[in-house]
Amino acid sequence: MPDLLIFLAASYADAPSALGFDDYGWVAAAMTILLLVFVWKKVPGMMMSGLDAKIAEIKSQLEEAKSLRAEAEALRDEYAAKIAGAEKDAETMMDGARREADAILAKAEDDSEKMVERRQRMAEEKISAAERDAVNQVRQRAVDAAAVASRTLISQNHTRSADSKLADEVISSL
């Protein structure tokens, strides 16, 4: 290790120098000249204007984001109000449908009661008509039977002379 230090010290002592500057001096001078050229060509101003433009762009993006957020919140509120209105309308429609269904049901019950009453009346009328027809048929048969019986009795009990006598009595009463 001591050999290495001796070698390094010897190599440093042999470093070239020009115009009284060693290699570090020349690097510092070149850097100074480069910085002066940058200042003379206004590179920091260009960098600052580039950064200012980037800052302005970011600010405009932030403003746009704020306006978009405000617009989105307004839309959210609008749609929340629409949803609330739609729910209220749906509730109103459901109430109306229930009332209408109840009214239809009540009308159907009333109509069915009326129809039952009407059919009962019609059945009673048919039964009554059938009873009248049966009574009329019985009467007609009784009349027919009485007519047949009277013909039979008259033909058996009345003779020609009795018929003449009866005709004379009827004529004289007139």
My answer on whether 67 and 137 are in the same domain is yes
Q: Which domain holds residue 61?
A: 42-173
pLDDT class of 38 with cuts at 50, 70, 90: confident
My answer on whether 150 and 169 are in the same domain is yes
Q: What is the pLDDT of residues 47-101, one digit of tens each?
A: 888 888 899 999 999 999 999 999 999 999 999 888 888 888 989 999 998 999 9
My answer on whether 99 and 161 are in the same domain is yes
d(CA 169, CA 162): 11
Q: For the whole model, what pTM was predicted?
A: 0.37
**Into how many domains does the chain fold?**
2
My answer on whether 54 and 67 are in the same domain is yes
